[in-house]
Amino acid sequence: MNNTKIFHNTWPLQQLPPTMKLTNLEWRFLICSDGSMPVDQVQRRLNLSEAERELILSRLCSSNLLTEKTVSLEEYAKTTVDLAAPTSEPQTIAEYLKSTESAGTPTEKTMPAFSPLQKPAVATPTVRAMSLQSVIQFILNQNTDATAGHLATYQVFMGINTDLLKRNGITSLRFQDDRFITDTELQTAIAENIQKILKVACPEEVYFNPSGSGKK
């Protein structure tokens, strides 16, 4: 059993051969295995059975795609997307990202216009809303390669607690209209993951003042 073991990608995902094919679940397992959580947590995040987990882990390790991580006691103590329907057909990473790509995500490198928000009926402390569409576009704009951009997008959102996403009505990245996030916990999680994955700060341009005074 590998319950408490922590694995990380042997090679940067962007350096994998573009023709290499894995199943949808294998790609998701590989992306989630970033060295930040033990395999039992990855299993729960992806809703896998123990048999499925062991089979996928064995295949990825034997292919030298995953390597067990050596961690200190403190690091281990601190360790505590679903964003696409599973498929059994092997796919390249480009095919996997395309299959989960948001139908409403802009492909041009332009910041989308903000949709007007209704003014709250009851006066509440000012809380900035975060435009999900603008966040995704910002991540895509950090990469000149489209595949790398989509990969970074899913790395950011797969690193967020599933319950937190569901609490805000985000069960996938498939949406036609923009979504505005007012949950400060989710805003913080997105900003922290952008910093972690892209090594850049989340820009002020993705925030919007729901009181109607525009971006802040």
**Per residue in 169-197, pLDDT tens?**
887 776 555 678 888 899 899 999 899 88
Report whether 215 contacts 206 (CB < 8 A).
no
User: Is the pLDDT score of 21 beyond 80?
Assistant: yes
Mean per-residue pLDDT, 59-77: 79
pLDDT at residue 81, as a whole number:
38
Centre a 10 Å sphere on the Cβ of residue 94 and count the other Cβ atoms it contains: 15
Report whether 76 contacts 91 (CB < 8 A).
no
pTM for the full model?
A: 0.52
pLDDT at residue 192, as a whole number:
92
pLDDT at residue 39, as a whole number:
85
The rounded distance, in Å, linking the Cα atoms of 100 and 81 is 10
The rounded distance, in Å, linking the Cα atoms of 216 and 214 is 7
* Top mean-pLDDT range of 60-74, 80-94, 165-179: 60-74
pLDDT band at 161 (very low <50, low <70, confident <90, very high): confident
Select the more confidently predicted residue: 117 or 167: 167
Report whether 130 contacts 208 (CB < 8 A).
yes
pLDDT band at 126 (very low <50, low <70, confident <90, very high): low
* Run of H or E residues at 30: helix 24-32
Mean per-residue pLDDT, 115-119: 46
pLDDT at residue 183, as a whole number:
87
Select the more confidently predicted residue: 76 or 157: 157
pLDDT at residue 111, as a whole number:
43
pLDDT at residue 136, as a whole number:
87
pLDDT at residue 116, as a whole number:
46
